[in-house]
Amino acid sequence: MKALKIASTNALLYLLFQVLLVRSRADGSTLNTTRLDCGVRKLALEFAKSINNDQGALRHVFDALRLSDLCRVQYDEEDIIASTDRKLRHVEKMDTCSKEKCTYVTSKASDKDVNRDGSIDHPWHSIHEAIEFARSTPKFRTIVLREGIHYLNGKTLNLDQRDAGMTIRGYLGEEVWISGGIPLNVDFEETGNGLFQANISDLLQEIHIPSLVSLFTTNRRYFRARYPNSNPEIDQWGYASFGRDVYSINGKYAVEWHKPKPSSPPNITFVDLTKSNAGIPIKNNSAMPGYNWYTNGYGGSCAKVWGDNPSYWCSNSCQGGWAFVDAGCAERGRPQIPVGLSYNLTAQATKDFKMKNLSGGILHAWHSQSWALHMFNITTHDPINGKLRFGKGGGRQGARNWCRCDECTYAGLWCGQHQTPSWNDERLIGGSWIIENIFDELDSPGEFYFDKSTNMIYVKANSTMDLKDFKFAILDRLINIENTSNIWISNIGFKDSSPTYMKEMSAPSGGDWSLHRGGALYMERVAKITVNNCTFRRLDGNAIFLSRKTRHVTIEDSRFEWIGESAIATWGQTKEFDATDNNIPMFTRIIRNIFRELGIYQKQASAVGHCKAALTTIRENIMFNMPRAAINFNDMVGGGDIVERNLIFNTCRESGDHGPINTWDRLPFLTTLRDGVNASFDPLVRAIRKNFIFANYGASQGVDNDDGSSWYHVYKNLWYASMGFKMDYGGHDSIFEDNLVLSYPYDGQQCFTMDSFNRNNFTTNAHIVRRNRCFIGLGNKMSSGCGDPTCASPYPESKESLELIGTHRDTCSNAKLVLSSNKYFTPSGQGKIQLDDGLFTLEDAQTKCGMDTNSTVETLPNEMQILESVREMIREMNENNRNMFFESRDPSSYN
Ligand SMILES: *[C@@H]1O[C@H](CO)[C@@H](O)[C@H](O)[C@H]1NC(C)=O
Ligand SMILES: *[C@@H]1O[C@H](CO)[C@@H](O)[C@H](O)[C@H]1NC(C)=O
Ligand SMILES: *[C@@H]1O[C@H](CO)[C@@H](O)[C@H](O)[C@H]1NC(C)=O
Ligand SMILES: *[C@@H]1O[C@H](CO)[C@@H](O)[C@H](O)[C@H]1NC(C)=O
Ligand SMILES: *[C@@H]1O[C@H](CO)[C@@H](O)[C@H](O)[C@H]1NC(C)=O
Ligand SMILES: *[C@@H]1O[C@H](CO)[C@@H](O)[C@H](O)[C@H]1NC(C)=O
Ligand SMILES: *[C@@H]1O[C@H](CO)[C@@H](O)[C@H](O)[C@H]1NC(C)=O
Ligand SMILES: *[C@@H]1O[C@H](CO)[C@@H](O)[C@H](O)[C@H]1NC(C)=O
Ligand SMILES: *[C@@H]1O[C@H](CO)[C@@H](O)[C@H](O)[C@H]1NC(C)=O
């Protein structure tokens, strides 16, 4: 875990110090980071073209790489078309569907007639009707949706065993959407100032209204009226985001986050797996004893926040960075998740609250270390004293407790510890916050407020055209697929779902995540489900959710854009540490998708949130623009996953202490996947290979192998603005080889950083780091919040600090990390390794400690030579890869 670092930037500083962006090298020549950065960005676009041929998506990649404004590269449409056309396989142009198998659904009122029979001329009026028909006439296994928006009118589509073998698809060449909303065909009345209102009681009859609704137009998201004003789709307010204090209220204006009263401590499950327990194999391969334990807590004070599911973070024995905070909460029976807030009555940012009706509002506040956003339902507001009280279920959106001023060294400057005279301050530390769903804050175009008690909707319209185009989102689950198999869904867009962040949430396993078991497309106990060529755009909860047991679910050639929470999340089920019944998602394939602009509301969200699942393949996806990790491995249940040939950049934009691929492995699970028979705590290896990853925005490493992460094989990856291999705490049995690492200074974990390994068996459990090339000290420090060298620190790091190629927490005579045949490049041409008993030159490490044999350190070459290595690496990454476009599409599915 790293300490929080706030980046500072400012255009003037940038201009003043631009000359320093050119790093002087020992031989007096220079490395131009502008040219290096632009060169890497251009090559990232080339790599994108080699893994995806969606022209529209490639345009977004071009924009997100900022090739135009940072590098003055013109968008070359013809080049994109030429490069993608070459890869297009045969695409069906005509929709041919046999009359005997296909049944049609229209979205248009004008096509609706009473004599409907599902034929192309007399289509069904709703997907529900078509499904009823197909169930009664089983030879009809293909439902074809015609052009337009198919509204579900408040009724989730439930597919079950009767629907096995079904295809639901859009008519070829037509734009087809399924909406979780209802169209607001009402007349709005203008009340002045661009405000409009409508009574929608009549529309809502017999429709279940969730506690939080959303509002969309065809191409826009409206948002619950908020303070401060911002557009949540684009404005970032993470702890190091440059616009943080514009788009949110600084944490210091929370005078006090009220702690809940103590109640009964949770019951604890605890098994020390290093001791022999009847019938359970021993696990003692982590050098951190706590990662050889299985533990969780449930009931009592814990249930008051996270409900009935047991949570690792409710145990008094949980482990990891700041876990003592969570363990202490368990022991005291007092979660550190606030139940109210006293805000500052006089500060500019908050003084107007006392005039406003805030009850019914939702307060969003960052965890004190920006690990998650926690939401609280405001039930009462005492304006005289500036006090808010929160309702039940508040704050469970992250699995970790907040720190108190007296517990955490990073305590805010406003904490009593920092005052003169100082006092022992036990208040909770929270990050920046906002309030939404407040009628009195309806003042900015794009905002709305829905009053559930009167069914009145109020909007501050951005354009009067929007008034005719509203979709009122009331469903968070559009399609529910359970107990069935062989379903094919393609050429369909999904939109307009309502948010789930105020619904049940709890910790799926030992990672930091809290998760809601739900999504717009939800699957449980299913096999062979394919989602192909679909678009998931502007959904407020998770887009796709795989729950408990799923097999062979394929999600391919699809687009995920502007998603409120995660794009794809999984959450299997285990019996405590026993996963041998494989009641988890297995053989999931996530291929050639585009994931962008995710985590709009819950910022602890990812393109793939991988919780309790095994044997997942994540291949040739492009993932960018999100607040936290692109892929989050919350645990290791079974393993055997493959992450390959993905392009990942602009992640962790709003949070720190995280990576583009982030992994945690704090809890052991028993699996039989190694040989299919014998239960063991050793999972299959998880491979991460041939990926092109930017760890910009201070995302530290391409793969942040955090607490306990073990059994990784990370090879042939290209990492930019990234440090090398990380194993800070208790990991073992991983291999990091043949990677190319381009590292800007960050926090000194330059090419590798290793904790110690299990002394009983370090010869077998130690990590192996070999044949990597690490280019160290490429420019100045790029901290959290900073995505490219133009906002790097103006001050160069010291020559000495950039000579540190790696650290290993063990002594020279004991160091068993297996290092060899690496090539290091540093500005001075010198390399040093930090061991527990001293700082050793590479040569001393080799001769005295027997470490890093056959490795070399040289002076950093210039940017042109580095770019040549990058090009060469991409060539290698592209070798032996079949052209995989549409490889899995089954033409028979069109019938
Ligand atoms: C670095 O490269 C950029 C882009 O080619 C160029 O505009 C700039 O002048 C170079 N800087 C120096 C100091 O050479
Ligand atoms: C994907 O779906 C769109 C409609 O949404 C359609 O126009 C296009 O032809 C489909 N692509 C393929 C390869 O089937
Ligand atoms: C909204 O319309 C319903 C039904 O038409 C009516 O009963 C109700 O009083 C109206 N509400 C308001 C606030 O005007
Ligand atoms: C702990 O477990 C005991 C025995 O099952 C039960 O009586 C008690 O209510 C539980 N405590 C909590 C806090 O859930
Ligand atoms: C409220 O904010 C003002 C202005 O920043 C500050 O001077 C004052 O000390 C704050 N009051 C409290 C109670 O924190
Ligand atoms: C807010 O809390 C109240 C009382 O605990 C509850 O009735 C209401 O449903 C909650 N609202 C949301 C959006 O969760
Ligand atoms: C308002 O409309 C303009 C023009 O279409 C658009 O650029 C802008 O982003 C919109 N604002 C919001 C908040 O949707
Ligand atoms: C070390 O690991 C090997 C291979 O897994 C195993 O056979 C041996 O028993 C282990 N030794 C100890 C002391 O745990
Ligand atoms: C030494 O390292 C180079 C690459 O860095 C490798 O090709 C060679 O095989 C290594 N030699 C030994 C003996 O490991």
Q: How confident is the model over 586-598, as pLDDT tens digits?
A: 999 999 999 999 9
The DSSP string of 506-534 is: B--SSSSB-B-S--SEEEEEEEEEEEES-
Instruction: Give the pLDDT confidence of 49-66 residue by residue, as tens digits.
Output: 999 989 999 999 999 999
Q: Is 468 helix (H, G, I), strand (E, B) or coil?
A: helix
Q: Is the link from the previous residue into 421 a cis peptide, with omega within 30 of 0?
A: yes
Residue of the CA atom closest to atom 11 of ligand 5: 344
Instruction: Give the pLDDT confidence of 219-235 residue by residue, as tens digits.
Output: 999 999 999 999 999 99
Does residue 110 surpass a pLDDT of 90? no
Residue 762 has a pLDDT of: 53
Sorted by sequence, the CB contacts under 8 Å of residue 601 that are 6+ apart come out as 232, 364, 373, 499, 501, 540, 564, 565
CA of 42 to the centre of ligand 1 (A): 16
Q: Residues near ligand 7 with C-beta < 6 Å?
A: 220, 231, 445-446, 462-463
For residue 719, give both structure tokens: 């990492």
CA of 180 to the centre of ligand 8 (A): 55
Global pTM reads 0.95
Instruction: Give the pLDDT confidence of 293-308 residue by residue, as tens digits.
Output: 999 999 999 999 999 9
Contact indicator for 639, 685 with CB cutoff of 8 Å: yes
Sorted by sequence, the CB contacts under 8 Å of residue 722 that are 6+ apart come out as 693, 694, 695, 699, 700, 701, 702, 741, 742, 743
Confidence of residue 23 (pLDDT cuts 50, 70, 90): low
Calculate mean pLDDT across residues 884-892.
42
As a three-state string, the secondary structure of 642-676 is: EEECCEEECCCCCCCCCCCEEECCCCCCEECCCCC
Does residue 122 surpass a pLDDT of 80? yes
Residue 763 has a pLDDT of: 61
Does residue 366 surpass a pLDDT of 70? yes
Residue 602 has a pLDDT of: 96
Does residue 612 surpass a pLDDT of 90? yes
Does residue 13 surpass a pLDDT of 70? no
Instruction: Give the pLDDT confidence of 836-875 residue by residue, as tens digits.
Output: 999 999 999 999 999 999 999 999 999 999 999 999 999 9
Does residue 622 surpass a pLDDT of 90? yes
**Which atom from ligand 2 is nearest to the alpha carbon of 173?**
7
For residue 211, give both structure tokens: 């506690």
Q: Which stretches of 437-518 are assigned E, i.e. beta strand? A: 447-451, 456-460, 471-473, 479-490, 493-495
Q: Which domains does the chain have, with CATH numbers?
A: 2-86 (no CATH), 107-152+164-180 (no CATH), 185-232+442-471 (no CATH), 249-259+336-439 (no CATH), 267-332 (no CATH), 476-674 (2.160.20)
Question: pLDDT: is 357 or 656 the higher one?
Answer: 357
Question: pLDDT: is 240 or 12 the higher one?
Answer: 240
| Residue percentage of the chain with pLDDT more than 90 | 86
Spatial distance between the Cα atoms of 63 and 56, rounded to a whole number of angstroms: 11
Does residue 88 surpass a pLDDT of 60? no
Sorted by sequence, the CB contacts under 8 Å of residue 346 that are 6+ apart come out as none
Spatial distance between the Cα atoms of 83 and 81, rounded to a whole number of angstroms: 6
Instruction: Give the pLDDT confidence of 803-832 residue by residue, as tens digits.
Output: 999 999 999 998 889 999 999 999 999 999
Does residue 393 surpass a pLDDT of 70? yes
Calculate mean pLDDT across residues 520-526.
98
Ligand 8 pocket member 764 (CB < 6 A) = yes
Does residue 26 surpass a pLDDT of 90? no
Q: How far apart are the first and last CA of the chain?
A: 53
Report the residue count for the chain: 895
CA of 302 to the centre of ligand 6 (A): 19
**Which atom from ligand 8 is nearest to the alpha carbon of 764?**
2
Calculate mean pLDDT across residues 318-331.
97
Torsion angle of C-alpha atoms 271, 272, 277, 283, degrees rounded to 10: 120
Q: Which stretches of 314-385 are assigned E, i.e. beta strand? A: 340-343, 362-366, 373-382
DSSP 194: T
Instruction: Give the pLDDT confidence of 132-185 residue by residue, as tens digits.
Output: 999 999 899 999 999 999 999 999 999 999 999 999 999 999 999 999 999 999
Asked which of 432-446, 531-545, 752-766 is least confident by mean pLDDT, the reply is 752-766
Q: Residues near ligand 1 with C-beta < 6 Å?
A: 22, 32, 34-35
Calculate mean pLDDT across residues 412-433.
93
Mean residue pLDDT of the chain comes to: 92
Calculate mean pLDDT across residues 776-787.
94
**Which atom from ligand 9 is nearest to the alpha carbon of 823?**
5
Ligand 6 pocket member 197 (CB < 6 A) = no
Q: Residues near ligand 5 with C-beta < 6 Å?
A: 255, 344, 346-347
Residue 713 has a pLDDT of: 97
Counting ligands in written order, which one lies closest to the CA of residue 562? 7
Ligand 2 pocket member 170 (CB < 6 A) = yes
Per-residue buried b or exposed e for 189-200, using 16+ beta carbons within 10 Å of the residue's own CB:
eeeeebbbbbeb
Spatial distance between the Cα atoms of 299 and 335, rounded to a whole number of angstroms: 12
Residue 452 has a pLDDT of: 95
Calculate mean pLDDT across residues 616-621.
97
- φ/ψ of residue 110, rounded to 5: -65, -20
Residue 184 has a pLDDT of: 96
Does residue 1 surpass a pLDDT of 80? no
Residue 2 has a pLDDT of: 37
Calculate mean pLDDT across residues 762-775.
89
Q: Which residue bears the tokens 């060449």?
A: 173
Residue of the CA atom closest to atom 14 of ligand 4: 299
Question: pLDDT: is 763 or 383 the higher one?
Answer: 383
Residue 80 has a pLDDT of: 86
Residue 815 has a pLDDT of: 87
Does residue 339 surpass a pLDDT of 90? yes
Counting ligands in written order, which one lies closest to the CA of residue 820? 9
Residue 806 has a pLDDT of: 96
Largest interatomic CA distance in the chain: 89
